[in-house]
């Protein structure tokens, strides 16, 4: 397995890999659950699960936040700038090769009428530059790309924000920086709440714009901040934090989001991220898992980015080109979707991402 999978992490944390796997399984299931609607497994299509994308957001904030906090406090400003530029390059190699390739593949498939989409609604340079949903939504093309600008601009802006904080005040002022971002996101959601007139417009305006969802990634920085500056509390709180996190996630999944309500339009996105944050002390302490299960989780975790970018496209191909089969053999279509999604993601990983990660490890 080590011959196929390349990682820059010499010490992987099993608990965080497990969260990544859970997140991508939720995302894949949500994109394939419609195949089960007319089968005896129809109940699975109605599962109320946490948001897999929110798990990815908080995880990104925690991991990058940990690195940037360390860089900001342990380096002089000129050294911090150099380290930040190196971080930018590493993140570009992590994100952009897969993203640009899948952008091109989606373009070709839409242009060839293999999958539905509108190539004229927004210039392709907006997608290529990860600016397609900064303060207004996009739709009808490469739907799954909505999360990448949220993470990308976090990677850009966090070091800039930390650069403005005096080195000796990093501990005191980092929570204030995050609070400002959260306040901005809440204010933006309030300002566009009138545009969320139904579930579609709620989805694209509230759930899928950078300005609306930036707080979810930045909240992960607070988790990294607690771990760095309060390590004893971090270790001692893990079990009650897990219990509280499970309770809040259950509430988050159970409470109906009424379109137009303050809860759905303003509170829910932040509440979802906070509930997931509470899982991190226990997950971060789960360092290893030996045997097949541990290796499988690590492997799927490494495939998760390619899986995320490609699984909806696979579903669209099945729906568009094999619609009769999908309608008459729903369960088979569901498992075929999973199989093809994993197979395609492995090809992307092996041909593109593995090369980029090897190059990244040399930086």
What CA dihedral angle connects 191, 159, 154 and 5, to 10 degrees? Answer: -170
Note down the domain range covering 245.
Answer: 56-286
Give the long-range contacts of residues 225-233, CB within 8 A, separation 24 or more: 225/65, 225/69, 225/171, 225/174, 225/175, 225/178, 227/66, 227/280, 227/281, 227/284, 228/66, 228/69, 228/70, 229/171
User: Are 149 and 174 part of one and the same domain?
Assistant: yes
User: Are 23 and 117 part of one and the same domain?
Assistant: no
User: Are 24 and 95 part of one and the same domain?
Assistant: no
Question: What is the Cα–Cα distance from 298 to 307, expressed in whole angstroms?
Answer: 14
1, pLDDT greater than 90: no
Chain segment 146-172, per-residue pLDDT in tens: 999 999 999 999 999 999 999 999 999
The confidence score (pLDDT) of residue 143 equals 96
The confidence score (pLDDT) of residue 309 equals 97
Q: Of 261, 286, 311, which residue constitutes the final position of a domain?
A: 286
User: Are 363 and 308 part of one and the same domain?
Assistant: yes
| Closest of 37, 330, 353, 59 to residue 221, by C-alpha | 59
Look at 38 and 24; give whichever has higher pLDDT: 24
User: Are 19 and 60 part of one and the same domain?
Assistant: no
| Closest of 67, 26, 74 to residue 155, by C-alpha | 67
Q: Tell me how many domains the chain contains.
A: 2
Question: What is the Cα–Cα distance from 354 to 340, expressed in whole angstroms?
Answer: 19
11, pLDDT greater than 80: no
* Alpha helices (H) along 203-290: 210-229, 231-236, 238-254, 262, 268-277, 280-285
Chain segment 108-150, per-residue pLDDT in tens: 999 999 999 999 999 999 999 999 999 999 999 999 999 999 9
What integer is the mean pLDDT of 309-324?
Answer: 96
Question: What is the Cα–Cα distance from 294 to 209, expressed in whole angstroms?
Answer: 35
Rg, Å, the chain Cα set:
20
What integer is the mean pLDDT of 83-101?
Answer: 95
User: Are 81 and 218 part of one and the same domain?
Assistant: yes
For 133, what's the count of Cα atoms within 13 Å in the CB-facing half-sphere?
27
User: Are 34 and 151 part of one and the same domain?
Assistant: no
Q: Of 271, 286, 301, which residue constitutes the final position of a domain?
A: 286
pTM, 2 dp: 0.94
User: Are 278 and 294 part of one and the same domain?
Assistant: no
User: Are 178 and 278 part of one and the same domain?
Assistant: yes
Summary mean pLDDT of the chain: 94
Residues 6+ apart with CB under 8 A from 334: 32, 33, 35, 36, 41
Contact call for residues 53 and 148 (beta carbons, < 8 A):
no
The confidence score (pLDDT) of residue 75 equals 87
Contact call for residues 62 and 264 (beta carbons, < 8 A):
no
User: Are 79 and 30 part of one and the same domain?
Assistant: no
User: Are 137 and 225 part of one and the same domain?
Assistant: yes
The confidence score (pLDDT) of residue 10 equals 55
Q: Of 257, 286, 315, which residue constitutes the final position of a domain?
A: 286
CA end-to-end distance (rounded Å), the chain: 24
User: Are 64 and 24 part of one and the same domain?
Assistant: no
Question: What confidence category does residue 242 fall into, taking pLDDT thresholds of 50, 70 and 90?
Answer: very high
Question: What is the Cα–Cα distance from 63 to 42, expressed in whole angstroms?
Answer: 37
């Amino acid at each position: 397995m080590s011959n196929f999978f390349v990682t820059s992490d010499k010490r992987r944390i099993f608990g965080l890999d497990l969260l990544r796997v859970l997140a991508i399984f939720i995302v894949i299931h949500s994109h394939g659950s419609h195949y089960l609607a007319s089968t005896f497994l129809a109940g699975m299509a109605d599962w109320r699960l946490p948001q897999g994308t929110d798990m990815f957001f908080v995880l990104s904030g925690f991991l990058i936040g940990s690195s940037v906090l360390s860089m900001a406090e342990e380096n002089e400003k000129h050294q911090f700038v150099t380290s930040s530029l190196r971080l930018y390059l590493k993140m570009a190699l992590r994100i952009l090769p897969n993203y640009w390739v899948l952008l091109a593949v989606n373009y070709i498939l839409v242009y060839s009428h293999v999958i539905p989409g509108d190539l004229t609604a927004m210039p392709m340079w907006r997608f290529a530059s990860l600016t397609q949903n900064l303060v207004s939504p996009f739709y009808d093309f490469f739907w799954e790309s909505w999360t990448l600008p949220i993470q990308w601009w976090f990677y850009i802006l966090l070091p800039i924000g930390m650069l403005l904080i005096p080195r000796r005040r990093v501990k005191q002022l980092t929570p204030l920086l995050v609070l400002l971002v959260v306040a901005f996101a809440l204010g933006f959601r309030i300002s566009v709440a009138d545009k969320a007139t139904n579930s579609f417009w709620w989805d694209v305006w509230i759930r899928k714009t950078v300005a609306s969802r930036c707080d979810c990634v930045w909240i992960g920085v607070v988790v990294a901040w607690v771990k760095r500056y309060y390590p004893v509390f971090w270790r001692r709180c893990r079990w009650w934090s897990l219990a509280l996190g499970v309770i809040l996630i259950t509430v988050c999944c159970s409470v109906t989001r009424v379109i137009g309500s303050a809860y759905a339009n303003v509170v829910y996105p932040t509440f979802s991220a906070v509930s997931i944050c509470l899982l991190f002390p226990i997950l971060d302490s789960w360092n290893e898992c030996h045997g097949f299960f541990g290796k499988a989780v690590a492997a799927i975790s490494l495939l998760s980015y390619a899986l995320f970018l490609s699984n909806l496209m696979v579903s669209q191909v099945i729906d568009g080109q094999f619609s009769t089969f999908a309608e008459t053999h729903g369960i088979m279509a569901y498992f075929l979707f999973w199989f093809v999604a994993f197979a395609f993601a492995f090809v992307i990983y092996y041909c593109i991402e593995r090369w980029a990660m090897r190059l990244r490890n040399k930086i």
